[in-house]
């Protein structure tokens, strides 16, 4: 029997930390003739897709159910504080279930998830909040690949949304007058990460290795449309395609053709394209020139981390994994940072911003705005963790955010 459910209760501490209580799984309860897990009653009104980042429920009193995976390293720490921010910004609006998955769980059980878990998520939750993966105590663990890549594929979360916004020029390598306010829309299910290829004739002069970069027209078009829809909700209203179609002629050529086929459908949105190497240079030279950037998986992976460096590092970089359904998976992109796990030095702001994206997704727009504004104020003029050249603890930074939430 292993625990899954969590109820979040306020601890009364100034930091806003929460106390967690583990309960048995639904399957375990069924074994003893009881079913203690039931999905909360929903309003009968259908979901509507409003904007590229949200599939909001009607604005009524409704509890949003969120599956929480702390994962490895600093993940459980920062996700706990992200939950605190949602509790403070929207009291009673969320119910959180703590899921036990991690590299340690994978090693103990011989699998990263129970059979049918992705299907259960789809029916049980409005969102998944994920911490981090990667534990040096379990080298070669399949946890991250099974859960993150598995969720993207099995739940068809094809759009990886990564907003990047300047907070404090003192923690950025850019000049103080350069402002970053852009969003990278990265295709999440294809590209170079489909794990198709071969490595042959090892140890011989004929040794070869190759990987497939996969692009299908329908999946490419849907993420490009997602980028244009996102741009329509922003002030700049521009989409830039980034590719290497000059060298990767077939898959990136398909991206270019699909982009210019779709662009006329959005006459009020400016469209342009850059080669990936030129875009990387322009990210550094003139990041303020970008609004929404759309690209395939591999290119987006690189550009999003480069963009994070421009605003002060991965400790300020949230992300969302979204599809056309109601369920989304939300994760800060900083990784597990095992060297600082448990030291109280982890930056919680990316996780809290990720929680704000989650709130927006489920229709808690006011809470999302308040959390984002509070993080912006703290990052600009409040206490800072060591990664931002400060000396404050994870708890102190979170406390400053919560204080601004009232």
The verdict on whether 72 is a catalytic residue reads: no
Give the number of C-alpha atoms closer than 13 A to the C-alpha of residue 265, restricted to the C-beta side. Answer: 13
Q: Sort strands 159-165 and 270-275 into parallel, antiparallel or unpaired.
A: unpaired
Asked if 277 is an active-site residue, the reply is: yes
- The Cα 236–Cα 233 span in angstroms is 9
Measured from the Cβ of residue 176, the count of other Cβ atoms closer than 10 Å reads 10
Phi, psi (rounded to 5 degrees) for 372: -60, -45
Phi/psi region, residue 115 (left: phi>0; alpha: psi -120 to 50; beta: rest), is: beta
Pick the catalytic residue from 195, 201, 277, 373: 277
Catalytic residue among 219, 244, 291, 387: 244
**Burial of residue 85, with CB atoms counted within 10 A of its CB: 0-12 exposed, 13-18 middle, 19 or more buried:** buried
**Catalytic choice (126, 193, 384, 387):** 193
Q: What gap in Å lies between CA 383 and CA 98, rounded to an integer?
A: 29
Residue of 301, 376, 384, 387 marked active site: 301
Q: Give the orientation angle of helix 217-232 with respect to helix 251-262, to 10 degrees.
A: 40
Tell me, yes or no, if 366 is annotated catalytic: no
Residue for token digits 């449309």?
225
- Residue 150 structure tokens: 């598995």
CB 253 within 8 A of CB 200: no
Active site annotation includes 301? yes
244 catalytic? Reply is: yes
Q: List, by residue number, the catalytic residues.
A: 193, 244, 277, 301, 305
């Amino acid at each position: 029997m292993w625990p899954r459910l969590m109820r979040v209760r306020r601890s009364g501490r100034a930091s806003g930390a929460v106390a967690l209580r583990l309960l048995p799984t639904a399957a375990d309860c069924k074994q003893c003739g009881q079913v203690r897990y039931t999905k909360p009653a929903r309003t009968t009104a259908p979901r509507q897709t409003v904007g590229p980042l949200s599939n909001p429920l009607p604005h009524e009193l409704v509890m949003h159910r969120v599956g929480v995976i702390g994962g490895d390293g600093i993940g459980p720490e920062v996700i706990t504080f992200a939950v605190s921010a949602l509790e403070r910004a929207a009291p009673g609006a969320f119910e959180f279930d703590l899921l036990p998955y991690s590299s340690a769980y994978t090693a103990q059980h011989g699998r990263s998830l129970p059979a049918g878990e992705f299907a259960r998520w789809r029916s049980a939750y409005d969102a998944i909040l994920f911490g981090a993966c990667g534990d040096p105590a379990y080298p070669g663990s399949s946890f991250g690949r099974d859960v993150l890549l598995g969720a993207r594929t099995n739940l068809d979360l094809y759009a990886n949304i990564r907003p990047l916004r300047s907070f404090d020029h003192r923690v950025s390598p850019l000049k103080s007058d350069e402002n970053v306010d852009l969003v990278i829309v990265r295709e999440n299910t294809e590209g170079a990460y489909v794990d198709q290829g071969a490595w042959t004739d090892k140890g011989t002069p004929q040794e070869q290795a190759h990987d497939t970069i996969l692009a299908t027209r329908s999946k490419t078009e849907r993420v490009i449309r997602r980028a244009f829809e996102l741009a329509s909700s922003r002030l700049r209203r521009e989409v830039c395609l980034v590719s290497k179609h000059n060298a990767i002629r077939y898959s990136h050529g398909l991206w270019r053709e699909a982009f210019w086929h779709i662009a006329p459908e959005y006459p009020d949105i400016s469209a342009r394209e850059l080669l990936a190497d030129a875009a990387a240079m322009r990210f550094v030279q003139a990041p303020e020139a970008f609004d929404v950037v759309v690209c395939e998986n591999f290119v987006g992976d690189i550009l999003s981390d480069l963009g994070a460096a421009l605003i002060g590092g991965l400790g300020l970089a949230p992300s969302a994994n979204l599809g056309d359904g109601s369920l989304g998976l939300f994760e800060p992109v900083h990784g597990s940072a095992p060297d600082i796990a448990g030291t109280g030095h982890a930056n919680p702001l990316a996780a809290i911003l990720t929680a704000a994206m989650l709130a927006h997704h489920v229709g808690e727009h006011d809470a999302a705005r308040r959390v984002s504004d509070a993080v912006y104020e703290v990052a600009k003029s409040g206490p800072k963790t060591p990664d931002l050249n400060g000396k404050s603890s994870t708890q102190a930074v979170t406390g400053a955010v919560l204080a601004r939430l009232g």
